[in-house]
Amino acid sequence: MTTTVLVLNGPNLGRLGRREPQIYGTMTHADLRAHLVAAGEGLGLEVEVRQTDAEAEMIGWLHEAADNRIPVVINPAAWSHYSIAIADAVAQLEAPVIEVHLSNIARREEFRHHSVVSAYVTGTIIGLGFSGYDYALAHIAAMVDPDTEDPATRAQIRPGQVHSALGHFPQHPRGGVTISRTCRD
Ligand code: DQA
């Protein structure tokens, strides 16, 4: 059985590739979508990638995920740092939810150090660039694996799953994203 996963990206992430490439890399949101859909297939996940600059739209998607118990990978972008409305919507999710940040927000401006969303997620991945999404999907695949009955085991990522999920996103040694190829390479 295929599990659906929603990957939800917040404001300004639609401008990936053009937006501060020294921080976020040169790959576009379309590249990210294509890569994650393909990575999901390898993990038995049907991945749907959405992006919005509108808070109300994001909250609607989170309600949809809550009502249907759909696992979520979310990069709330700037909303992470101040939106109690997004945090309240994330708090309603019952299936696994992983927060991802492309950049290492802990080593950037102080206002980025705290995420109001983090208290309500299963786990957070920061600073690993696009690979952070791969790790999040691998973890969700492990958690929802119907062949693994023990929840404690389910919560562990099996190394093989991570390797099969990992894409072609070279990482900057200090946590930034150094991306010179596209996922179509
Ligand atoms: C971000 C980090 C946020 O501080 C910023 O507002 C973003 C992107 C990241 O993925 O690194 O838009 O969430």
| Residue 161 near ligand 1, beta carbon < 6 Å | no
Q: Give the model's confidence band at 172: pLDDT under 50 very low, under 70 low, under 90 confident, else very high.
A: very low
Q: Tell me the domain boundaries of the chain.
A: 3-165
| Residue 23 near ligand 1, beta carbon < 6 Å | no
Could you tell me the sign of the dihedral formed by the alpha carbons of 7, 47, 16, 159, in that order?
positive
Which position has the higher pLDDT, 150 or 13?
13
Helix 131-143 vs helix 29-43: angle between axes, to the nearest 10 degrees? 30
Q: What is the pLDDT of residues 27-37, one digit of tens each?
A: 999 999 999 99
Active site residue 168: no
Does residue 75 sit in helix, strand or coil? strand
| Residue 51 near ligand 1, beta carbon < 6 Å | no
Residue-level pLDDT at 135: 98
CA neighbor of 6 nearest in space, from 50, 66, 63, 44: 50
Active site residue 163: no
Residue-level pLDDT at 149: 54
Calculate how far, in angstroms, residue 147's C-alpha sits from the geometric centre of ligand 1: 35
Q: Give the model's confidence band at 178: pLDDT under 50 very low, under 70 low, under 90 confident, else very high.
A: very low
Q: Calculate what percentage of the chain has a pLDDT beyond 70.
A: 78
CA neighbor of 78 nearest in space, from 107, 123, 117, 120: 117
Task: Please state the rounded mean pLDDT for residues 2-26.
Answer: 97
Residue-level pLDDT at 181: 31
Q: Calculate what percentage of the chain has a pLDDT beyond 90.
A: 76
| Residue 112 near ligand 1, beta carbon < 6 Å | yes
Q: What is the CATH number of domain 3-165?
A: 3.40.50.9100
Calculate how far, in angstroms, residue 9's C-alpha sits from the geometric centre of ligand 1: 10
Q: Is the pLDDT of residue 171 over 70?
A: no
Residue-level pLDDT at 147: 65
Nearest Cα residue to atom 8 of ligand 1:
77
Nearest Cα residue to atom 7 of ligand 1:
77
| Whether 95 contacts 36, CB under 8 Å | no
| Residue 12 near ligand 1, beta carbon < 6 Å | yes
Q: What is the pLDDT of residues 89-145, one digit of tens each?
A: 999 999 999 999 999 999 999 999 999 999 999 999 999 999 999 999 999 999 987
